[in-house]
Amino acid sequence: MKLLYFGSPEISAQLLDRLIVDGEHQICAVISNPDRPKGRSSQPLPTPVSSRALDAGLPLFRFESLKGEAGQQAFQELQAFDADLAVVFAYGSIIPKAIFEAPRLGSINLHGSLLPALRGASPVQSAILQGLTTTGWTLQRLGERMDAGDILSTVEIAVDGRETSGELFERMIPSGVQLVIDSLRRIDDLIAAARPQDEAQATYCSKLRPDDAFISWSDASEKIHNQIRGMNPAPQARTITEKGDLILLHRSALLSDEDIAALFPSVDAASRHALLPGTICVAKQSGKKRLLARTGSGFLEILELQLSGRKRMPAHDFLNGSVLADGSRFDGAPDAKQIV
Residue 114 labeled ligand binder: yes
Rounded-to-5 percentages of helix, strand, coil across the chain: 30, 25, 40
First to last CA, the chain: 45
Residue 16 labeled ligand binder: no
Which residues, listed in sequence order, are joined to residue 120 by a DSSP beta bridge? 205
Residue (of 1, 107, 88) closest to 49 by Cα position: 88
Residue 113 labeled ligand binder: yes
Residue partners of 132: CB distance under 8 A and separation at least 6 = 159
Helix axes 48-56, 10-22, angle to 10 degrees: 20
Burial of 30 (0-12, 13-18, 19+ CB in 10 A): buried
Residue (of 104, 200, 81, 80) closest to 148 by Cα position: 200
CA–chain centroid gap for 158, Å, is 16
Residue partners of 189: CB distance under 8 A and separation at least 6 = none
Residue (of 295, 277, 310) closest to 227 by Cα position: 295
Residue partners of 173: CB distance under 8 A and separation at least 6 = 11, 14
Please enumerate, as own/partner, the contacts of 311-318 that have beta carbons within 8 Å and a separation of 24 or more.
312/248, 312/250, 315/289, 315/290, 315/291, 316/288, 316/289, 316/290, 318/291
Helix (H) or strand (E) holding 27: strand 26-31
Spatial distance between the Cα atoms of 76 and 81, rounded to a whole number of angstroms: 9
Residue 116 labeled ligand binder: yes
Residue partners of 147: CB distance under 8 A and separation at least 6 = 109, 111, 115, 116, 119, 120, 140
Give binding residues as ranges. Answer: 113-116
Give binding residues for (6S)-5,6,7,8-tetrahydrofolate as ranges. Answer: 113-116
